[in-house]
Chain A
Amino acid sequence: MNGSDAAVPIEDFVQALQAQLDRAQRAMHVKARNLNLPLTFAVKDIAIDLRAHVEVVRNQVRVRPAGPNDHDSSVLHLSLTTVTRPMIEENAFSMNSTEERIDEVKDIPEEDRRKLEWAGLQTVRQLKEIHEQEGAESIGRMADLPVDRLRKALQKMVQPMVSRVDTEDGDAAQKLLRIRGQNLMRQQIPKVQIEGEPVSVLQASDHEVLVAPKAHQFGGVLTIETDPNYATQTAFDLRPAMTVAPPKGDGA
């Protein structure tokens, strides 16, 4: 890397430094084990004085190690210490192990996922929450990502999707429809229509919507709109399930 190409974001630099420390620790562990030694040495504290140029490019701090004859470079002083597992656990936010992690989302390119994680966003839920609160522009600025690309990925992630529609017994012998899927509710109760006719929504959550259709609305095209720009349509037909079986002995 030469010239201006050699400047890297400071977080990339720190990440690279951490990777090298991990590499050294791992090598020491393996060496001590191979030599069958009960004890080993581990790097506990490390400080580096780096002669470098510090630049700010589009709100991003970049460092470039000083080259030959660079007499006017700055000195960047970085100190790191190792953390123990209890320290990590004490400072980590609680995360449900079943939650979808950002690194599992294939709609976002790997490099963008990495930047989001560095910005502190680990799960899809966190990303959705901050998107609702701050918008794609803020996330883009925070994680240094192109806003258009991020917005497209976020739109895909919050797009409602129906996976299953079932009938359910309601009060007073009224049949209800339970709609299951993902992203079925945003900030307000979704608008639900069957064949273009509105349906009353009784309950709604991110994964389920319970509606009270009229007798003729147990089949057709179901539309769920969580926001003016976010809607999904699914064809379903539960009318055969609603047909009352004729009593035995009727007919011929």
Chain B
Amino acid sequence: MRTRALGDMLAEIAGSLLSLGVESEIVRATSVEITLPIEVKMTRSIDGLILRGDVPAWRWRTDFDPPFGQLRFTLRETGQEFEV
């Protein structure tokens, strides 16, 4: 499995949480903390260095797989006016 760019992986996880903010009128998640094992690689492209980080492809490690790193991040609810 190709290791995705770290930003793509983060966007997919955060994107899957979007409905948490709107579907309930009583309880709403405003902050989510996530800790994941990740495989980290660095590749070069014409745009420069790309940091690739993705969840491990397999549960079981082999001698051919690099060691896991760990990624912890907090997603917080924000308005659409949030400047990117």
B24 at the interface (CB under 8 A from A): no
Contact B42 A41 (CB under 8 A): no
Contact A39 B7 (CB under 8 A): no
Known: A35-B18, A39-B22. A20 touches B32 (CB 8 A): no
**Complexed CA–CA distance, A104 and B24 (Å):** 51
Interface positions of A from 18 to 48, Cβ below 8 Å from B: 19-29, 31-33, 35, 37-48
Contacts of B73 in A (CB 8 A): 43, 45-47
Contacts of A45 in B (CB 8 A): 73-74
User: What does the 1/0 interface line of A185-229 toward B look like (CB < 8 Å)?
Assistant: 000000000000000000000000000000000000000000000
Contact partner of A40 (CB less than 8 A), chosen from B48, B64, B80, is: B80
A246 at the interface (CB under 8 A from B): no
Contacts of A20 in B (CB 8 A): 5-7, 10, 50-51, 53
Contact B7 A21 (CB under 8 A): yes
Known: A22-B7, A28-B15, A48-B53. 17 other contacts (CB 8 A): A8-B42, A15-B48, A16-B50, A20-B5, A20-B51, A29-B82, A37-B18, A39-B21, A39-B80, A40-B14, A41-B21, A41-B77, A43-B10, A44-B74, A45-B73, A68-B63, A70-B67
> What are 29 A-to-B residue pairs whose CB atoms are below 8 Å?
A8-B49, A13-B42, A15-B48, A17-B51, A20-B5, A20-B7, A20-B51, A22-B7, A23-B8, A24-B6, A25-B82, A27-B11, A28-B14, A29-B84, A32-B80, A38-B22, A39-B21, A39-B78, A41-B78, A42-B14, A43-B14, A43-B74, A45-B74, A46-B71, A46-B72, A48-B38, A67-B66, A68-B64, A70-B67
